[in-house]
């Protein structure tokens, strides 16, 4: 994708900026010289133009080959960027498993592929130029032969023949330029096709015409008979899932990995639409509402703490771009982040680095909580907010999380008992189905699926 929105767009832009101007220049020159030649000797001009179809035939044949080679070269260029980004982004994993050689091999393989595509394009262009030269010489010789015969017959003067031959050289130059420009056009069209492929991608969800706007919601959330399957997946991620969270209540979703918990969050944010059933906000189907307003009413703290390369202030204000400095500081205080931010070299203006590499996991998570705080949305989604944190860090962010949850409709996806036991209601998912629901103590007393999670693998984290 990066290759398409940078390299391919640049290739099309270059053609439009220089190619169109050159085409106009060639057309004007062709018209001028052609008019002069017809004025001098129309019969010789017709003979000179007889080889023009050969120019276009050669250009058309070689252009198809150049287009295929250019498309492969652009594809390989994108693959090089993707392999490099993936390897560098996961450099710790690469080093930990001693896979440097393997990654170098992958990078080399894509580079060799691009080299071969570039060489194929170069060979095609190298053959094309001599072919054009031969066609041009053939035309010139034909005109020279007929002109010499007319000179011998007294139908043409020597000066007239020399002038005509000089203009013929001028005529073939723009013809050759237009043919060469055709090759450039086909090379750029390969990039244009890759851009069009990207533009033709349709989003998973679309806003219906005349979508309703609801402003700030009360926060009443309901999943009504939800069936959902990811694109191209064989099995259902959620099967007939129903629950209701009234405004201000907290619902906890628990279950083994792959049970469908995070899918619930994706449907609530309307990253996907259910295949059957409806997700309701204040009684309205999300599919009938403005997509931007649906997401304006939801704040999220995700399992993967997402931090941008920028200042601490910018990362917190990302939740509400119009927030004032006072709002940013207040959110940081509520998230217990103000103290560590003040100790940073530049305070709130400290750059955190890509993916927050200068901060600890707990600090990044508190920034994420501050970001959700400043958004002040009526619905809150917590997707494994303590995952990846040690016990001490996990406990330190509990107070900020409770302040964040206060007064909001909250859906908590977690294995951590500290974030689950205070929930108004707990829903247990297993293979995409609701198998139990109730309060923490009640579910433990039933000695069912929730109690097993509590005792066994997930229970080790839960407790």
Predicted pLDDT of residue 97: 74
Q: Which among 199, 233, 251 is the end of a domain?
A: 199
Instruction: Say yes or no: 303 and 404 in one domain.
Output: yes
Binning pLDDT at 50, 70 and 90, where does residue 452 land?
confident
Q: Is residue 349 part of a domain?
A: yes
Token code pair at residue 433: 């189905």
Identify the CA nearest to 263 among candidates 287, 285, 233, 291. 233
397 lies in some domain: yes
Q: Same structural domain for residues 231 and 378? A: yes
- pLDDT one-digit tens code per residue, 296-313: 888 888 766 677 778 888
Last residue of a domain, one of 143, 166, 199: 199
CATH number reported for the structural domain that contains residue 391 in this entry: 3.40.50.300
- 244 forms beta bridges with 222
Q: How do strand 379-383 and strand 425-430 relate by DSSP bridges?
A: unpaired
Phi, psi dihedral angles at 102 (to 5 degrees):
-65, -45
CB-count exposure of residue 454 (10 Å: 0-12, 13-18, 19+): buried
**Could you give the CA distance from residue 59 to residue 187 in angstroms, rounded to a whole number?**
12
Check whether 69 has a pLDDT greater than 50. Answer: yes
Bigger pLDDT: 207 or 64?
207
- For the beta sheet containing 284-285, the strands, ordered from the edge strand earlier in sequence to the opposite edge, are 238-245, 221-228, 276-281, 284-285
206 in any annotated domain: no
Q: Say whether both 422 and 360 belong to one domain.
A: yes
Q: Is the pLDDT of residue 416 over 70?
A: no
Query: Which pLDDT value is given to residue 415?
Result: 65
End-to-end CA distance of the chain: 43
- 390 has a pLDDT exceeding 60: no
- Share above pLDDT 90 across residues of the chain, in percent, rounded to a whole number: 6
Q: Stretch 338-350: mean pLDDT, rounded?
A: 86
Range of the domain at 47: 2-199
CA 400 to chain centre: 33
Q: Is residue 29 over pLDDT 50?
A: yes
Domain shared by 112 and 150, yes or no: yes
Helix, strand, or coil here: 175? helix
The pLDDT of 81-95, averaged and rounded, is: 79
Stretch (H or E) spanning 451: helix 449-455
Q: The whole model's pTM is what?
A: 0.67
Q: List the structure tokens of 121.
A: 């394009």
List phi, psi (to 5°) of 410.
-125, 130
Residue 248: predicted pLDDT: 86
pLDDT of residue 280: 92
Q: What is the pLDDT of residue 395?
A: 64
Using the 3D structure, point to which of 132, 167, 199 is the last residue of a domain: 199
Specify whether 245 is located in the same domain as 101. Answer: no
Q: Using the predicted structure, report yes or no on whether residue 417 has a pLDDT greater than 60.
A: no
Identify whether the C-beta of residue 59 lies closer than 8 Å to the C-beta of residue 177: no
Classify residue 211: in a domain, yes or no. Answer: no
Please report whether residue 62 resides in a domain: yes
Task: Say yes or no: 326 and 431 in one domain.
Answer: yes
pLDDT tens sequence across 128-177: 777 777 777 777 777 777 777 777 777 777 777 777 777 777 777 777 77
On whether both 287 and 386 belong to a single domain, the answer is: yes
The string over 143-173, giving b where at least 16 C-beta atoms fall within 10 Å of a residue's C-beta and e elsewhere, is beebbeebeeeeebeeebbeebeebbeebbe
Q: Supply the pLDDT for residue 370.
A: 85
Q: What are phi and psi of 462, to 5 degrees?
A: -60, -45
Q: Give the Å distances, CA to CA, from 441 to 135, 255, 415.
A: 90, 17, 16
Q: Convert 235-258 to b/e letters by CB count within 10 Å (16 or more is b).
A: ebbbbebebebeebbbbbbbbbee
Other CB atoms within a 10 A radius of the CB of residue 351 amount to 14
- pLDDT at position 459, please? 41
pLDDT at residue 393, as a whole number: 56
Q: What is the pLDDT of residue 79?
A: 82
Residue 209 lies in a domain: no
The pLDDT-based confidence of 418 (bands split at 50, 70, 90) is low
Judgement on whether residues 170 and 256 belong to the same structural domain of the protein: no
Residue-averaged pLDDT of the chain: 80
Report the range out of 148-162, 369-383, 395-409 with the highest average pLDDT: 369-383
Same domain, 276 and 171: no
Same domain, 258 and 148: no
Q: Is residue 173 part of a domain?
A: yes
pLDDT score, position 277: 92
Domain assignment present for residue 215? The answer is no
Looking at the structure, do residues 95 and 126 belong to the same domain, yes or no? yes
- Domain of 38, CATH number, reads 1.20.1560.10
Of 45-49, 343-347, 395-399, the one with minimum mean pLDDT is: 395-399
Which of the pair, 293 or 190, is modelled with greater confidence?
293
What total of structural domains would you count in the chain?
Answer: 2
**Do 287 and 152 fall into the same domain?**
no
């Amino acid at each position: 994708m990066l290759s398409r929105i940078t390299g391919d767009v640049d290739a099309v832009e270059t053609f439009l900026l220089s190619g169109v101007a050159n085409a106009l220049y060639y057309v004007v020159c062709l018209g001028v010289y052609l008019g002069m030649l017809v004025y001098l000797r129309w019969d010789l001009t017709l003979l000179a133009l007889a080889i023009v179809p050969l120019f276009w035939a050669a250009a058309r044949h070689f252009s198809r080959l150049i287009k295929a080679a250019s498309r492969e070269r652009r594809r390989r260029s994108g693959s090089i960027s993707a392999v490099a980004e993936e390897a560098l982004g996961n450099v710790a994993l690469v080093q930990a498993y001693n896979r440097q050689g393997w990654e170098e091999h992958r990078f080399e393989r894509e580079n060799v592929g691009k080299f071969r595509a570039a060489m194929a394009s170069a060979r095609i262009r190298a053959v094309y130029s001599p072919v054009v030269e031969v066609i041009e010489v053939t035309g010139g010789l034909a005109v020279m032969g007929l002109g010499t015969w007319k000179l011998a017959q007294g139908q043409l003067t020597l000066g007239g023949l020399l002038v005509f031959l000089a203009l013929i050289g001028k005529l073939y130059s723009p013809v050759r330029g237009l043919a060469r420009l055709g090759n450039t056009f086909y090379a750029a069209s390969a990039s244009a096709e890759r851009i069009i492929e990207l533009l033709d991608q349709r989003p998973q969800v679309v806003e219906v015409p005349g979508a309703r706007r609801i402003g700030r919601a009360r926060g009443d959330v309901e999943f009504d008979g939800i069936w959902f399957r990811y694109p191209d997946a064989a099995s259902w991620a959620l099967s007939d899932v129903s629950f209701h969270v009234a405004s201000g209540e907290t619902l906890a979703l628990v279950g083994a990995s792959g049970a469908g918990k995070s899918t619930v969050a994706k449907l609530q944010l309307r990253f996907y639409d259910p295949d059957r059933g409806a997700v309701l906000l204040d009684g309205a189907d999300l599919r009938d509402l403005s997509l931007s307003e649906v997401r304006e009413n939801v704040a999220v703290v995700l399992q993967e703490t997402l931090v941008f390369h920028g200042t601490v202030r910018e990362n917190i204000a990302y939740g509400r771009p119009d927030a004032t400095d006072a709002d940013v500081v207040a959110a940081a205080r509520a998230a217990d982040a103000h103290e560590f931010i003040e100790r940073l070299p530049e305070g709130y203006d400290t750059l955190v680095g890509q993916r927050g590499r200068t901060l600890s996991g707990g600090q990044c998570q508190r920034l994420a909580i501050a970001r959700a705080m400043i958004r002040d949305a009526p619905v809150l989604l917590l997707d494994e907010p303590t995952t990846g944190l040690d016990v001490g860090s996990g406990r330190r962010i509990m107070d900020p999380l409770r302040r964040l949850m206060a007064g909001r409709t909250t859906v908590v996806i977690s294995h951590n008992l500290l974030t689950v036991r205070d929930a108004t209601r707990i829903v247990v998912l297993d293979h995409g189905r609701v198998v139990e629901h109730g309060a923490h103590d009640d579910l433990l007393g039933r000695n069912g699926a929730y109690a097993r999670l509590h005792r066994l693998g997930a229970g080790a984290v839960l407790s």
